C-alpha cells in the first residue's frame, strides 16, 4: 500500500506536500498457536515473538502492555494502592501493569483519562484489549483462520484483510456521515466499543462501564446542578492543563468552546492561543463572537481563512489521516487548524461534547416530533431518528443499487435498542449522541487529526466524569423548553459575556452547498460519475447526476450529500490501492 502515491495521483499535483503520520502505528497478531507477534513502525518491519522471551514495550513479570495511555489521576492511584515506586508516578504503563497485577480487570474503573491498550498475560496465555470509557482512543481487530489481528489504526490492518465492504456499515455511513457501532467499512473488521474489554482467543466481550441514566437530586434547582458541573469542569481542566506550557483552544464563538476558553483563562497562567476559521467574505461567519471572547480573555487569536480550493485540495490528506470515512465537512478545517496550532503548543483543547451531554438544538426536532406525533411503533421512531441526520436515509431505496438494498432489509439499526429504551426521552437522545456520535465521529476525528501533527487534542466536555454527571442531571435542565444546555449556561454565566450566553446556537457551518454549486461541481462530476468510480459498484450514479445538477433540491441539502459521497469515493481510492 502506498498512500502517498495514491494521493498524488488523485489530487493531480506533482509537487503536492503530504505528511501522513499514523500515530500510533503498530499491529499485533495472535496466531492459532497462541504466539503473539508485535510489528511496529519503529522496528522497520521486524517482528518480535513474545513467547520466545523477547518483548517490546512495557513488561512486568508475566504481563506485557502495549498501547496508548494518558492518565490524569496517577498520583491518586499510586497513593490509594500504596505504590511507592517513583517510576509509577511518572509512567502510565508501569502504573497500569501494577494495577492489573493487583486487581485484574477491576482496575479499569479506577483509570481516568484516555487510553486504548492491550495486555498479554503469559501465564494465562490470554490477550486483553481495553478501550477507555468514552472512546477517546481506538482499537480495531479482525479474525481469520484462527488468527487475530489487532491495531489502534484501521489502516494498520489493511495487509491482513480483504477490501470487501460491509454493506451495513455503508448504509449507516450514508445515513449518519460516520460508521456507528462495532462495524467498520471493511467487512469483518470490528472496532472495540468504549468501556469494554475483549479477551482473546476466547472472543468474549465484557463492558466494565457504560453511560446510564441515573437522575439524582431531581428536586434541587438549576443552580445546584450547575454548581456541581462547574466544580467538575474546573477540576478536569486543571488536570488537563500542561505545566508551564502554552495551550491552544479551537474557538468558534459558541457556548461550548467559549466556556472552555473562559475556564482555561481562569486556571492557566501561561499563554493561551485561540483559533477560529472563516470561509471568505462571501460566506457568513462567527468571527464577531469568537473575536469577542478572544479579546475578553486576551488570548493570542489566530484566524484562518479556508478557501474552496484549500478545502478540496486537503480532503484526500484529511481522509488519509482518519480511519473509517467521516463525511462531516468540518474534518478538513480541523486538519488545517491542527497544522497551524502545532506551531504554538503541544496541547489543544476544544468544546466538543456540549451538545451530546447537555442537549444541543439538533435534538429539538426529535423532541417536538415525539411530543406532537404518535410514535406507537418503534419503526416510526427509528425512521424519524435516522431522518434527523439530514443525510441520505430517505434516499437509500434509490441511492443504493437494488441488490445491495435488498441485502439490508433484515438488518436492524444499531440505534434501535437505545432509542426504544425506558429512559427519559431526552436522555435517550443524549445517550445515543454520547455512545455513537461521540465515540465514532467526534472523538475519533479530534484524536486522529490532532495527532497527525503530534498534537494532543483534549475534550473536557467529553470527559467520562462530565458524561456521568450529565446523566445525573434532570432532563429539564439540559433542554429547558426551547433553551438548550441550560445547566451549562448557568455553570459559566459569571465568566462569559452576555452576548455569548444568550446567542442562539448556529453551529459552525461549512458552505458546501454554495461551494459545490459555484466551484466544485465539475470536479465532483469527474470523480463520482466516472465508470471507474469506486462507488459505482454500490450506488446509483443516475441519482447522483441529478444531485450534481441540483434538480429538486427544495431544502438546499444536496451539498451535504455530495460531500458525503465525495469523501467516500476518495476514502475508497486511498484505501483500496
* DSSP at 234: H
The per-type count for the chain, helices as H runs and strands as E runs, is: 25, 19
Residue in the block written with cell 485484574: 104
Q: Identify the sign of the CA torsion 235, 236, 242, 247.
A: negative
Question: Is 401 strand, coil or helix?
Answer: coil
Residue 463: partners with Cβ closer than 8 Å, 6 or more residues away = 134, 236, 353
Angle at 78 between CA 77 and CA 83, to 5 degrees: 140
Q: What is the 3-state secondary structure (H, E, C) of 473-533?
A: CCHHHCEECCEECHHHHHHCCCCCCHHHHCCCCCCCCCCHHHHHHHHHHHHHHHHHCCCCC
Residue 29: partners with Cβ closer than 8 Å, 6 or more residues away = 36, 37, 39, 147, 148, 149, 150, 160
Q: E-strand spans in 208-328?
A: 247-250, 272-278, 300-305
Note if the bond before 51 is cis, omega within 30 degrees: no
Cα 529 to Cα 220, 400, 541: the distances in Å are 58, 15, 6
The reported pLDDT for the residue numbered 40 is 57
- Neighbouring CB atoms inside 10 A of 59's CB total 17
Distance CA 461, CA 110 (A): 19
The reported pLDDT for the residue numbered 57 is 63
Task: Compute and round to an integer the Cα radius of gyration of the chain.
Answer: 24
Alpha helix (H) ranges present in 306-377? 308-320, 331-341, 354-358, 364-372
CB 443 within 8 A of CB 134: yes
Angle at 221 between CA 217 and CA 222, to 5 degrees: 105
Tens of each residue's pLDDT in the chain, 577 residues:
344 444 444 444 333 344 576 888 889 999 988 888 887 543 333 444 444 333 446 677 889 999 999 999 988 888 877 765 554 445 888 889 989 999 999 999 999 999 999 999 999 999 999 999 999 999 999 999 999 999 999 999 999 999 999 999 999 999 999 999 999 999 999 999 999 999 999 999 999 999 999 999 999 999 999 999 999 999 999 999 999 999 999 999 999 999 999 999 999 999 999 999 999 988 989 999 999 999 999 999 999 999 999 999 999 999 999 999 999 999 999 999 999 999 999 999 999 999 999 986 555 556 655 544 554 456 688 999 999 999 999 999 999 999 999 999 899 999 999 999 999 988 999 999 999 999 999 999 999 999 999 999 999 999 999 999 999 999 999 877 667 899 999 999 999 999 999 887 665 689 999 999 999 999 999 999 999 999 999 999 999 999 999 988 888 889 999 999 999 999 999 987 6
Distance CA 108, CA 119 (A): 12
Which set of grid coordinates corresponds to residue 180? 456507528
For helices 287-296 and 255-267, angle between their N-to-C axes, nearest 10 degrees: 10
CB 163 within 8 A of CB 186: yes
What are 114's strand-pairing partners?
70
Class of domain 23-207: alpha beta
The reported pLDDT for the residue numbered 47 is 44
CB 37 within 8 A of CB 151: no
Q: Which of 131, 22, 3 is nearest to 448 (CA)?
A: 22
The reported pLDDT for the residue numbered 179 is 98
Question: Is 566 strand, coil or helix?
Answer: helix
Q: Which H or E run includes 575?
A: helix 558-575
What is the tens place of the pLDDT at every residue in 169-215? 999 999 999 999 999 999 999 999 999 999 999 999 999 999 999 99
Q: Which of 449, 253, 444 is nearest to 339 (CA)?
A: 449
Longest dimension (CA), the chain: 70
What is the tens place of the pLDDT at every residue in 538-558? 999 999 999 999 988 888 889
Distance CA 508, CA 277 (A): 9
Residue extents of the structural domains in the chain? 23-207
Which set of grid coordinates corresponds to residue 540? 446509483
User: In Å, how far from its chain's centre is CA 236?
Assistant: 20
Residue 156: partners with Cβ closer than 8 Å, 6 or more residues away = 22, 25, 26, 27, 140
Amino acid at each position: 500500500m502506498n498512500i502517498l502515491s495514491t494521493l498524488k495521483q488523485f489530487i493531480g499535483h506533482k509537487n503536492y506536500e503530504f505528511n501522513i503520520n499514523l500515530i500510533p502505528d503498530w499491529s499485533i497478531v495472535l496466531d492459532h498457536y497462541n504466539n503473539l507477534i508485535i510489528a511496529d513502525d519503529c522496528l522497520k518491519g521486524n517482528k518480535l515473538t513474545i513467547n520466545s522471551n523477547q518483548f517490546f514495550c512495557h513488561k512486568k513479570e508475566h504481563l506485557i502492555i502495549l498501547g496508548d495511555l494518558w492518565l490524569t489521576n496517577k498520583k491518586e492511584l499510586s497513593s490509594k494502592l500504596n505504590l511507592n515506586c517513583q517510576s509509577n508516578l511518572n509512567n502510565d504503563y508501569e502504573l497500569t501493569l501494577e494495577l492489573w497485577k493487583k486487581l485484574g480487570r477491576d482496575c479499569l474503573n479506577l483509570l481516568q483519562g484516555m487510553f486504548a491498550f492491550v495486555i498479554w498475560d503469559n501465564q494465562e496465555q490470554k490477550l486483553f484489549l481495553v478501550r477507555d470509557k468514552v472512546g477517546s482512543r481506538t482499537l480495531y481487530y479482525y479474525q481469520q483462520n484462527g488468527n487475530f489481528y489487532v491495531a489502534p489504526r484501521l489502516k494498520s490492518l489493511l495487509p491482513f484483510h480483504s477490501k470487501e465492504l460491509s454493506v451495513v456499515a455503508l448504509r449507516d455511513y450514508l445515513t449518519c456521515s460516520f460508521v456507528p457501532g462495532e462495524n467498520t467499512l471493511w467487512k469483518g473488521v470490528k472496532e472495540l466499543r468504549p468501556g469494554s474489554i475483549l479477551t482473546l482467543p476466547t472472543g468474549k466481550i465484557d463492558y466494565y462501564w457504560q453511560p446510564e441514566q441515573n437522575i439524582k437530586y431531581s428536586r434541587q434547582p438549576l443552580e445546584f446542578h450547575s454548581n456541581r458541573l462547574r466544580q467538575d469542569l474546573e477540576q478536569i481542566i486543571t488536570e488537563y492543563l500542561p505545566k508551564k506550557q502554552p495551550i491552544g483552544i479551537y474557538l468558534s464563538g459558541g457556548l461550548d468552546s467559549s466556556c472552555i476558553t473562559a475556564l482555561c483563562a481562569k486556571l492557566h497562567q501561561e499563554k493561551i492561543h485561540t483559533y477560529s476559521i472563516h470561509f471568505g467574505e462571501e460566506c457568513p461567519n462567527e468571527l464577531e463572537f469568537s473575536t469577542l471572547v478572544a479579546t475578553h480573555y486576551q488570548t493570542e487569536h489566530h484566524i484562518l481563512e479556508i478557501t474552496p480550493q484549500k478545502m478540496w485540495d486537503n480532503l484526500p490528506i484529511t481522509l488519509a489521516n482518519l480511519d473509517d470515512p467521516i463525511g462531516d465537512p468540518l474534518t478538513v478545517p480541523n486538519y488545517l487548524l491542527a497544522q497551524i496550532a502545532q506551531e504554538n503548543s503541544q496541547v489543544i483543547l476544544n468544546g466538543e461534547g456540549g451538545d451530546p451531554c447537555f442537549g444541543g438544538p439538533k435534538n429539538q426536532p426529535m423532541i417536538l416530533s415525539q411530543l406532537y406525533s404518535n410514535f406507537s411503533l418503534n419503526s416510526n421512531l427509528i425512521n424519524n431518528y435516522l431522518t434527523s441526520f439530514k443525510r441520505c436515509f430517505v434516499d437509500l431505496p434509490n441511492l443504493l443499487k437494488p441488490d445491495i438494498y435488498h441485502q439490508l432489509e433484515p438488518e436492524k439499526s444499531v440505534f434501535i435498542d437505545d432509542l426504544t429504551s425506558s429512559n427519559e426521552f431526552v436522555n435517550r437522545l443524549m445517550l445515543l449522541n454520547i455512545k455513537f456520535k461521540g465515540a465514532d465521529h467526534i472523538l475519533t476525528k479530534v484524536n486522529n487529526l490532532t495527532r497527525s501533527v503530534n498534537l494532543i487534542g483534549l475534550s473536557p466536555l467529553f470527559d467520562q466524569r462530565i458524561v456521568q454527571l450529565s446523566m445525573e442531571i434532570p432532563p429539564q435542565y439540559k433542554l429547558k423548553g426551547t433553551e438548550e444546555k441550560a445547566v451549562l449556561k448557568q455553570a459559566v454565566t459569571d465568566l462569559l459575556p452576555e452576548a455569548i450566553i444568550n446567542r442562539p446556537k448556529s453551529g459552525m457551518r461549512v458552505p458546501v452547498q454554495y461551494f459545490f454549486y459555484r466551484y466544485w461541481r465539475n470536479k465532483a462530476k469527474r470523480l463520482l460519475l466516472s465508470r471507474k468510480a469506486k462507488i459505482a459498484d454500490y450506488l446509483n450514479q443516475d441519482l447522483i447526476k441529478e444531485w450534481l445538477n441540483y434538480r429538486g433540491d427544495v431544502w438546499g441539502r444536496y451539498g451535504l450529500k455530495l460531500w458525503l459521497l465525495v469523501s467516500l469515493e476518495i476514502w475508497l481510492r486511498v484505501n483500496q490501492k
